[in-house]
Amino acid sequence: MDQVKVGVFLSDCGKQLSEILDFNALTDYVKKVSGVVLVGRSSEFWRGKGLQFIVDAIKDGKINRVVVAESLPKLSEVNIVQAVENAGLNPYLVEVIDLKDHCAWPHRKTPSEATEKAKAMLLAAIERAKLLEPLEKLEFSVLKSALVIGGGIAGMQTAVDLADLGFEVHLVEKTPFLGGLATRASRFFPTDDCAICIESPVSDVKTITHTSRKCIYRSGFSEIPNMNILTNSKVVAVEGVPGNYKVTIEKKPRYVNELKCVRCDLCTAICPVKVPDEYNAKLKTRKAIYMNIPNVHPPVYVIDESVCKFHDCAKCVEVCPTDAIELDQKSEQITLNVGSIIVATGFREFDSSIIKEYHYDDYPDVMTNLELARMIDGFGPTGGVIIRPSDRKPAEKIVFVQCVGSRDRRYNPYCSSICCMISLKHATLIKSAYPDTDISICYIDIRTTGREHEDYYERAREMGIKFIKGRPTEISRDTETDRLIVDVEDALLRKILELDADLVVLAPAMVPAEDTKELAEILGLELGEDGFFKEYNAKLRPTETKLRGIYLCGGATFPKDAPTTSLHAHSAAIKAVKFLTTGKIVKDQRTAVINEEYCGDCEFCPVTCPYGAISLEPTTEEHFVAKISDLLCEGCGVCVGTCPLNAIELRHSRPKQMLAQMKALMSINGTSKPLVLAICCSECGHTAVDSSGMAMMQYPANVRVMKVPCTGILQVHQFLEAFKAGAQGVMVVGCKSDGCHYEVGSQKAENKVELTRILMKEYGIEPERLEMFNMVFIEGDKFAAAAQTMTERLEKLGPLPTMGGS
């Protein structure tokens, strides 16, 4: 390797800093450090003449390492690194530090101490730069195709977006028809129009018809270019890496050829097998060959194989005029290669029969909102008439029960967020069609938090719908009249009531779709405590997962109403497009690397890596070795901190680079106070230090900051090394443990700090000399206070007896 030639560039930020720091002293100091061949001074180095000066020095071959002291390094670094790369030097050989927010400003009252600290900071940056190694940029190919799992409104909207933008889309739906919960729900708030109404694909709106919205059944959905719809199909396996997934789909037979069926209905007329129609709340029967409702998509019949007599009957085969019925169809396995996967599996109603006291399974006149929706639907089993199922007489008195299994710590503690609105929608729809119906709604709290949602509540009150604040304890049946009785306290009146009713409608919690857990395992995704898919960051990345290329939308992450589902679906589509559009992933090598000689195949790192980037691969017959995927590795270093044999290092944060930095930071004190090393993660920890400096919060200059990618990288021996290097105390500053940018790093660091404190006790070192702090960017005050407290604590403790500073 060439000889290391470091250029150091000191910016005084337009004289702001030189009023506090002695720049002449700094220049003299830096010049004497071995390896430094050039020292520049200017008022800024991240653009203009200053930056040109750096570029020229590189081009002239004067320097091959760059250290810049500049304010706002998180902004300026981008420019500097880019310019360095353009000048022909590997961009990973640059180190940028901040003498303003990390030194001059927080120590403005003690300028000479600040200058001494600045020397230590510069030395640390130089020592680290000397040990940096050039890294490569890697490219991985990405297939321009996507798999969308779930054919409800979320999945359909995402699929249309992607197809319209030219990507190949496979839409997989496990039931025989598209539409999901939405089609069953029939009408939607806040517009009270049809649920099966969707945005028209661009492919037809401009060219063939002039409608902007259409029913699914007349949308030409299956004719959208690039769209491959697979109903009756399920994802059974996923292999591969972001950009290149191999997906195995199991497609169950429909027994009706989708290309031949002309919907003449002759088959259903002749089919002799009748079964209760679950889709329509069992309020009617259907045949073994059937369609849910006339307006479904695809507009093709399906045979229910659990009841069809097949070749013992085959009457439908005889009548079908187009030979569309194929009783010998078999399940197929289909393999798809896609670049991205979007999960849109939605939610379902909680099983109300679990709450025994509501007798959902025992009394036919107790039903759920989704079942009631079938009666409100004109296409439904009663043609829009609201009946009591036990005798099919019109229901004159209806009681709604809210929060069935939600806001209930025995089942689902969360509020399902849409069921109040569903009940209000149903109650008002019924009341406007049949004004004489007596309707009561028993609620704990009514929640109507969307635009125009409160109008429903207001309208319901105007219409004379009664509201009872109380959660019923029991539903029973009067054996003489066969009417239902709802036991509830009206808590506002403090009266115990027994409401009689023809029909009781339960508003069940919304829970994750049936196979959510299984799918999560197949995809390697995590579920939240509530059982829904966990998004990468609820605030900023609500449709992303921690796996690049896999996205979530709609009710798969939590129950949502239609407007929110649409938003979510479009958001997932744009995220997928961002990922797919260039056809490649560009990543650098600031990743982890295994020293195969040391690896003892202990299996710790593969389970610890939050991104599943490590696998164990066989080398010889009985030996395995850990391998790291540069594509999947996010460079957190959690594996480094976990490996018991020190077999893993991050290429850009090697232990020797960290040690050199540590020693340099502790080499000069310049204050009368005990030296403190604050090891901060690059995310919240380091930015909290920034923000304390920006706000000019003061803390003593004996506190020295060292940045690591994530505190999860730290190992026990490194804390001890810090003490050996002269630290009298060590602070570890990471993200909040439930807000760690690398999922588990902060928690791992906390554990290691605890462990080290136990060891310290054994060695006779006060464990209070080491402490973990968790903070976010805006908590600069917390950092300043912690630095102050630590210093005072160490002053009380006195100098470290055994390892004392050098």
Residues in touch with other proteins (CB under 8 A): 357, 403, 407-410, 444-445, 469-474, 487-491, 494, 496-497
φ/ψ of residue 239, rounded to 5: -125, 170
Contacts (CB under 6 A) with ligand SF4, residues 447-476: 447
Asked if 202 is part of the footprint of ligand SF4 (rule: CB under 6 A), the reply reads no
Q: String of b and e for 682-717 (b: at least 16 CB within 10 Å)?
A: bbbbbbbbbbbbbeebbbbbbbbbbbbbbbbbbbee
* Residue 613 Cβ vs ligand SF4, minimum distance, rounded to whole Å: 4
Amino acid at position 776, single letter: V
Cβ-based nearer residue to other proteins, 495 or 656: 495
- 711, 122 Cβ separation under 8 angstroms: no
Asked if 445 is part of the footprint of ligand SF4 (rule: CB under 6 A), the reply reads yes
DSSP string covering 692-728: HHHTT----TTEEEEEES-GGG--HHHHHHHHHTT-S
CB atoms near residue 404 (< 10 Å): 27
Asked if 572 is part of the footprint of ligand SF4 (rule: CB under 6 A), the reply reads no
Q: With CA atoms as reference, report the closest residue to 633 among 593, 599, 685.
A: 593
CB within 8 Å of 329: residues ≥ 6 apart: 253, 254, 255
Cβ-based nearer residue to other proteins, 445 or 792: 445
Asked if 417 is part of the footprint of ligand SF4 (rule: CB under 6 A), the reply reads yes
* Residue 370 Cβ vs other proteins, minimum distance, rounded to whole Å: 21
Q: With CA atoms as reference, report the closest residue to 364 among 426, 285, 282.
A: 282
Cis omega (within 30 of 0) on the bond before 242? no
* Residue 457 Cβ vs ligand SF4, minimum distance, rounded to whole Å: 11
CB within 8 Å of 410: residues ≥ 6 apart: none
Cβ-based nearer residue to ligand SF4, 368 or 671: 368
- Strand-pair category, 676-681 with 648-650: unpaired
Cβ-based nearer residue to other proteins, 471 or 483: 471
CB atoms near residue 189 (< 10 Å): 24
d(CA 14, CA 791): 32
473 binds, among ligand SF4, other proteins, none (CB under 5 to 8 A by kind): other proteins
Asked if 415 is part of the footprint of ligand SF4 (rule: CB under 6 A), the reply reads yes
Span from 232-240, 260-268, 411-419, 733-741 in contact with ligand SF4 (CB under 6 A): 411-419
**318 token code pair:** 């005889």
Asked if 638 is part of the footprint of ligand SF4 (rule: CB under 6 A), the reply reads yes
d(CA 660, CA 33): 14
472 binds, among other proteins, ligand SF4, none (CB under 5 to 8 A by kind): other proteins
Asked if 368 is part of the footprint of ligand SF4 (rule: CB under 6 A), the reply reads no
DSSP string covering 583-618: SEEEEES-SEEE-TTT----SHHHHH-TT--EEEEE
488 binds, among other proteins, ligand SF4, none (CB under 5 to 8 A by kind): other proteins
Span from 74-82, 129-137, 414-422, 789-797 in contact with ligand SF4 (CB under 6 A): 414-422
Name the β-bridge partners of 334: 249
123 binds, among other proteins, ligand SF4, none (CB under 5 to 8 A by kind): none
Span from 68-76, 398-406, 540-548, 659-667 in contact with ligand SF4 (CB under 6 A): 398-406
* Residue 491 Cβ vs other proteins, minimum distance, rounded to whole Å: 4
Give the CA angle between residues 652, 654, 656 to the nearest 5°.
135
* Residue 449 Cβ vs ligand SF4, minimum distance, rounded to whole Å: 9
> Which of 562, 633, 725, 753 forms a contact with ligand SF4 (CB under 6 A)?
633
419 binds, among other proteins, ligand SF4, none (CB under 5 to 8 A by kind): ligand SF4
* Residue 190 Cβ vs ligand SF4, minimum distance, rounded to whole Å: 15
Asked if 127 is part of the footprint of ligand SF4 (rule: CB under 6 A), the reply reads no
Cβ-based nearer residue to other proteins, 411 or 624: 411
Asked if 609 is part of the footprint of ligand SF4 (rule: CB under 6 A), the reply reads yes
What residue spans of 23-64 are helical by DSSP H? 23-31, 48-59
Cβ-based nearer residue to other proteins, 487 or 526: 487
159 binds, among ligand SF4, other proteins, none (CB under 5 to 8 A by kind): none
408 binds, among ligand SF4, other proteins, none (CB under 5 to 8 A by kind): other proteins
d(CA 536, CA 541): 6
* Residue 419 Cβ vs ligand SF4, minimum distance, rounded to whole Å: 3
Cβ-based nearer residue to ligand SF4, 395 or 506: 506
DSSP string covering 621-645: TTEEEEEE-TTT-----HHHHH-TT
Cβ-based nearer residue to ligand SF4, 269 or 496: 496
In 3-state terms, what secondary structure has residue 537?
Answer: strand
Cβ-based nearer residue to ligand SF4, 150 or 637: 637
- 680, 707 Cβ separation under 8 angstroms: yes
490 binds, among other proteins, ligand SF4, none (CB under 5 to 8 A by kind): other proteins
In the stretch 250-279, what mask flags binding to ligand SF4 with x, by CB under 6 A? ------------------------------
In 3-state terms, what secondary structure has residue 19?
Answer: coil
Span from 169-177, 319-327, 626-634, 730-738 in contact with ligand SF4 (CB under 6 A): 626-634
Task: State the number of binding residues for ligand SF4 (CB under 6 A).
Answer: 26
160 binds, among ligand SF4, other proteins, none (CB under 5 to 8 A by kind): none
Instruction: For residue 323, give Cα distances in angstroms to 255, 292, 296, 316.
Output: 11, 22, 21, 10
Cβ-based nearer residue to ligand SF4, 330 or 494: 494
* Residue 708 Cβ vs ligand SF4, minimum distance, rounded to whole Å: 12
Name the β-bridge partners of 592: 650
**177 token code pair:** 């028809």
Residues forming the site for ligand SF4 (CB under 6 A): 402-403, 406-407, 415-417, 419-420, 445, 447, 507, 591-592, 609, 611, 613-614, 628, 633-639
